Amino acid sequence: MSAKATSDVWWKNAVVYCLDVETFLDSDGDGCGDLKGLTDRLDYLAGLGVSCLWLMPFYPSNDRDDGYDITDFYGIDGRLGTPGDFAEMIRTASDRGIRVVADLVVNHTSDQHPWFQAARSDRDSPYRDFYVWSDDPPDNPPAPTFPDQETSVWTFDEQAGQYYLHRFYRHQPDLNVTNPKLRDEIVKMMGFWLQLGMSGFRVDAVPFLLETLGVDAAEADSLPDPHTYLRELRAFVGRRTGDGILLGEVNLPFEQQTAFFGSDYGDELTMQFDFVGMQQLYLGLARGDARPLAAALTARPTPPDSCQWASFVRNHDELTLDKLSDDERREVFDAFGPDPSMQVFGRGLARRLPPMMGGDERRVRMIYSLLFALPGTPVLFYGEEIGMGEHPDVSGRQAVRTPMQWTPDESGGFSRGPADVFPAPVVTGVFGPGNVNVADQLNDPDSLLSFMQRLTRRYRSCPELGWGSCEVLSQPSSAVLALQTSWDDASVITLHNFADVAAEVRFRPTLPPGDVILTELASGSTIRPDRDGSVQLRLEPYDHSWLRVTDTSSREIT
Ligand code: NOJ
């Protein structure tokens, strides 16, 4: 079965793990995580079942947006190590069967980037047109992305004598990809990192990146259509690597997301995060009702074969709830982040999953089981595998970007350096390293970490989850999500109970002819469908179950 899952489409059933080098492990005691520290922990990640690392920006930056304000696209932030350390890390990862992708942040640069410095100081500079300028910004500009910090997406620059566009912070001027020289620079830079062994990019803020093309394309026939540009980037990565990917951040309604796969040919973004499904998941969790997510999965467009959805329950940003109605968002806030200090930008929660679930590990495990059961590629944020919490005293999105917790001591084994120079304070209290750390969980078969290891293995042994098509099975309980995902002759049924009460379910899966049994993949126990092909079973509160469909002649290894 898995032999068909050829290696050039490795991403179809990858396990992606996102981390920021500066908060992962400090190898030299200077208080900042570094590439050598990450390299030391690649065996840990391989043991967890990670097959692709997504590195948050590690480039030189002005460090006013956690590295997303880049000052040099070709460098390594000196605090994290050297280009040599980077090459060692990539080589070691590859040796352990782990691919590496990194953030491609080309919607904007830092205002300290030499391009912007040149652009603002001279109207005739070749770099002036790398950015978007105006003497007279439009009357109805789009709202700023970070409304707590910015009141407009246009800021007047005294030195330049004009306004410049910035969809994010004012210190992050937007690049103007209508400029062909800039487009050349972007692919040259991508080629550089691919040549160093990277397997593609997580593309930051894709709709904003293409916006300048969209706006100007109507006026200038010579400009590529925005989607042609995205197609060119995917083709470039394909040419240079054969199997590299573009994993895109596109937080738009499903109808608009489809176009970013390249609707007809699947030749644009390789994968897109499912922001809509993620938000419906939280709405369902707040209600103890699986139907919002079931509806989202039913409405979700099937990506072209050469593309894939990426599933996640948390990431490094706020848990955005911007696609919910005001009332729905209020429900989720009330359930998982009632204190205004937990909320950001009026649209999201700066929290990690376990504290949001009141530390109820049954619920947390059910949600991660579901993450891996969803059709697509699961993406984890570092620390999720051990149940890390956020730091309640750190404001905004930084609350979830605290140092990784390796050991029970106060610094979490992150660094032997002085805590006051750590990039973020270590979590304290119930979710602090004393209670939540890798060392204690590693050899405990009942730990969350061991559970996650089993999940990644189970996910990898069910290639239909990455490759197949999925159907929501009808059954009587509104709290239960029953999915059957099939690919060729393989099929797996997954059941997840969103509620704190037990549920009796009866459903009728699609079964092959012959003598069929369902093997529960966690316990190895088997269920024989009734004569009419229906299956009945009971799920305990927040229970979950994965059932492989086989005929009685084949033996499942569970
Ligand atoms: C999206 C990233 O996910 C976010 O963390 C960052 O602040 C913005 N892009 C701006 O770069």
Q: Dump pLDDT digits (tens) for 172-227.
A: 999 999 999 999 999 999 999 999 999 999 999 999 999 888 744 444 455 668 89
Phi, psi of 80 (to 5 degrees): -95, -15
Segment holding 96, helix H or strand E = none
CA distance 63 to 75: 14
Distances (CA, A) of 544 to 2, 272, 393: 24, 26, 34
pLDDT band at 463 (very low <50, low <70, confident <90, very high): very high
User: Considering the chain, what is the average pLDDT of its residues?
Assistant: 95
316-337 tens-digit pLDDT: 999 999 999 999 999 999 999 9
User: Is 453 in a helix, a strand, or coil?
Assistant: helix
Tell whether domain 468-556 is in CATH 3.40.50.2000.
no
Torsion sign across C-alpha atoms 355, 356, 362, 366: negative
CA distance 490 to 468: 9
467-509 tens-digit pLDDT: 999 999 999 999 999 999 999 889 999 999 999 999 999 999 9
Q: Is the pLDDT of residue 454 over 70?
A: yes
| Residues comprising the chain, all counted | 558
Q: Which of 377, 515, 556, 554 is nearest to 17 (CA)?
A: 377
pLDDT number for residue 385: 99
Is there a contact between 99 and 271 (Cβ–Cβ < 8 Å)?
Answer: no
Q: Is the pLDDT of residue 442 over 80?
A: yes
- Give me 307's structure tokens: 């593309």
Say which amino acid occupies 334.
D
pLDDT number for residue 217: 42
- Report the catalytic residues: 204, 249
Q: How far is the CA of 275 from the centre of ligand 1 (A)?
A: 15
Q: Whose CA is nearest to atom 3 of ligand 1?
A: 317
Residue with tokens 């499904």: 277
- Please report the atom of ligand 1 found closest to the CA of residue 68: 11
Q: Whose CA is nearest to atom 6 of ligand 1?
A: 68
CA distance 554 to 200: 38
Residue with tokens 């047109």: 129
- Does the reported pTM lie above 0.95? yes
237-247 tens-digit pLDDT: 999 999 999 99
Q: How far is the CA of 68 from the centre of ligand 1 (A)?
A: 6
373-423 tens-digit pLDDT: 999 999 999 999 999 999 999 999 999 999 999 999 999 999 999 999 999
Tell whether domain 114-165 is in CATH 3.30.1330.60.
no
Q: How far is the CA of 168 from the centre of ligand 1 (A)?
A: 8
**Chain centroid offset of residue 37 CA:** 22
Q: Whose CA is nearest to atom 4 of ligand 1?
A: 317
DSSP type of residue 282: H
- Give me 506's structure tokens: 């009866």
- Give the mean model confidence (pLDDT) for residues 7-20: 95
CA distance 122 to 252: 37
Biggest CA pair distance of the chain: 80
What pairs with residue 344 in β-bridges?
348
pLDDT number for residue 312: 98
Q: Whose CA is nearest to atom 2 of ligand 1?
A: 204
Residue to probe by mutation, ligand 1, list 168, 202, 400, most atoms within 8 Å of CB: 168
Q: How far is the CA of 65 from the centre of ligand 1 (A)?
A: 7
**Domains of the chain: which residue ranges?**
114-165, 468-556
Q: Whose CA is nearest to atom 7 of ligand 1?
A: 65
**First-to-final CA distance of the chain:** 16
Q: Which of 195, 188, 136 is nearest to 161 (CA)?
A: 136
Is there a contact between 17 and 65 (Cβ–Cβ < 8 Å)?
Answer: no
- Name all residues whose Cβ lies below 6 A of ligand 1: 65, 68, 105, 168, 204-205, 316-317
- Please report the atom of ligand 1 found closest to the CA of residue 69: 11
CA distance 375 to 463: 10
56-97 tens-digit pLDDT: 999 999 999 999 999 999 999 999 999 999 999 999 999 999
Q: Whose CA is nearest to atom 11 of ligand 1?
A: 68
- What is the pairing mode between strands 377-381 and 308-311? parallel
Say which amino acid occupies 458.
R
Q: How far is the CA of 146 from the centre of ligand 1 (A)?
A: 10
pLDDT number for residue 553: 73
pLDDT number for residue 221: 55
CA distance 25 to 22: 7
pLDDT number for residue 206: 96
Residues 6+ apart with CB under 8 A from 550: 516, 517, 518, 519, 556
Residue to probe by mutation, ligand 1, list 204, 273, 312, most atoms within 8 Å of CB: 204
Residue to probe by mutation, ligand 1, list 64, 65, 319, most atoms within 8 Å of CB: 65
Q: How far is the CA of 8 from the centre of ligand 1 (A)?
A: 29
